[in-house]
Amino acid sequence: MEPQNDRNPGAHLGRRTKIIATVGPASWEPRVLEQLVEAGTDVFRLNFSHAGPERQAETIAAVREAAERVGREVAILGDLPGPKLRIGSMRGDVAELETGMHVTLTPEEVEGDRDTIPVQWSGVSDLREDQLVYLADGAIRLRVSDAEDASTSAGSSSPSRTASTCSRSPSSPPPPTWSRSRRG
């Protein structure tokens, strides 16, 4: 039996499963990308949360060059992040949330507590009933229950949303408290 050639551009033929490889610092090098194409990678996933546009453009070019050298077409999947909901200042720097409790999300710059959470995202006023909102990089899941007008001490009014805590996300360990220093 003859040894198999390392460069097998037909490695993917005959299988119905697609192989997706996430590209990052460990796989940015052209030779590594080429090896991934040779091994049968069909789709290269780029996480746009972890690198800037210049780095992503370099990676796209390197993937295309590696695929051309191997003689295979591959797809590139851009994983785009949704809006990051940044939490504002919290009284005592901690707010303990319990499943089923109600909290108000507000775009106002107020000091938050376990009843009111300032969210530095203008889209908070566009949230609709039953939408899910994730905080602390997904560790806390809230469901919007209704819209209301919240007034600041200066008397201005801006739309806020009341949400109830649903649960922690299944893949996250249960956070006993949320602290400003733990946000993403």
Per residue in 16-42, pLDDT (tens digit) is 889 999 998 889 899 999 999 999 999
Cα angle, residue 94 at apex, residues 88 and 98 outer, rounded to 5°: 105
Give the confidence band of 151 by pLDDT, cuts at 50, 70, 90.
very low
Per residue in 69-100, pLDDT (tens digit) is 999 999 999 988 776 777 888 888 887 878 88
The fold adopted by the segment(s) 91-182 is M1 Pyruvate Kinase; Domain 3 (2.40.33)
Domain boundaries, the chain: 20-79, 91-182
Whether the pTM exceeds 0.85: the reply is no
Query: Between the CA of residue 138 and those of 12, 21, 134, 158, 175, what are the distances in Å?
Result: 35, 23, 5, 26, 11
> Is pLDDT at 172 greater than 70 in this prediction?
no
CA-nearest of 120, 112, 108 to 150 is 108
What are the strands of the beta sheet with 43-47, ordered from one edge? 20-23, 43-47, 75-79
Region 60-70 average pLDDT? 96
Kindly report, residue by residue over 39-58, the tens digit of the pLDDT: 999 999 998 887 888 999 99
What is the rounded distance in angstroms from the CA atom of residue 179 to the CA atom of residue 181?
5
Residue 149 pLDDT greater than 90, yes or no: no
